[in-house]
């Protein structure tokens, strides 16, 4: 399991992209299923997304802007939203979390168009952190 990205909710994707560019992040079209567009629309979760990668350290930030009131983050507080870990065997990871009572799985596994149609699920850990688990569509 490894850190895949850090999710940040914003109400203005373009403004936030400019702020992160100042910090050394660049839009990462390679994370986009379309390849050329850096802003994606996730119709499942009703969000606009942009992935930005830091030029020196390489970590990835996912900026998330709600598209409308049906967005998965429409009522979320702006700022840090989640940490995302890339895993192999999402169903097994979720079963282990439940078995060890580490937290509450609050979304069933679903496909993530913004992540190449890999599968994701979100967990509230008992300490309050929101963790996203991501299983790529094909192993990296």
* pLDDT single digits (tens) 108-120: 999 998 888 999 9
Rounded CA Rg of the chain: 15
Q: Phi then psi for 30, rounded to 5 degrees?
A: -65, -20
Percent pLDDT > 90 in the chain is 81
DSSP-assigned beta bridge partners for residue 8: 63, 80
The pair of three-digit structure tokens given for residue 92, joined into one six-digit string: 């097994």
What is the pLDDT averaged over residues 46-74? 94
Query: Cα(7)–Cα(24) distance, rounded to whole angstroms?
Result: 17
Q: Among 3.90.1150.10, 3.40.50.300, 1.10.3720.10, 3.10.180.10, what is the CATH number of 2-135? A: 3.10.180.10
Q: For residue 35, what are the CA distances in angstroms to 30, 51, 78?
A: 6, 12, 28
């Amino acid at each position: 399991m490894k850190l895949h990205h850090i999710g940040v909710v914003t109400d203005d994707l373009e403004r936030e992209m400019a702020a992160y560019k100042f910090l050394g992040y660049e839009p990462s079209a390679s994370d986009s299923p379309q390849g050329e567009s850096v802003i994606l629309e996730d119709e499942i979760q009703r969000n606009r997304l942009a992935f930005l990668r830091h030029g020196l350290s390489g970590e990835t930030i996912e900026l998330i802007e709600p598209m409308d009131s049906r967005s998965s983050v429409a009522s979320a507080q702006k700022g840090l939203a989640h940490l995302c870990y890339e895993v192999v065997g999402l169903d097994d990871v979720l079963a282990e979390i439940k078995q060890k009572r580490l937290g509450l799985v609050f979304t069933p596994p679903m496909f993530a168009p913004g992540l190449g149609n890999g599968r994701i699920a979100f967990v509230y850990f008992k300490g309050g952190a929101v963790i996203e688990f991501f299983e790529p569509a094909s192993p990296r």
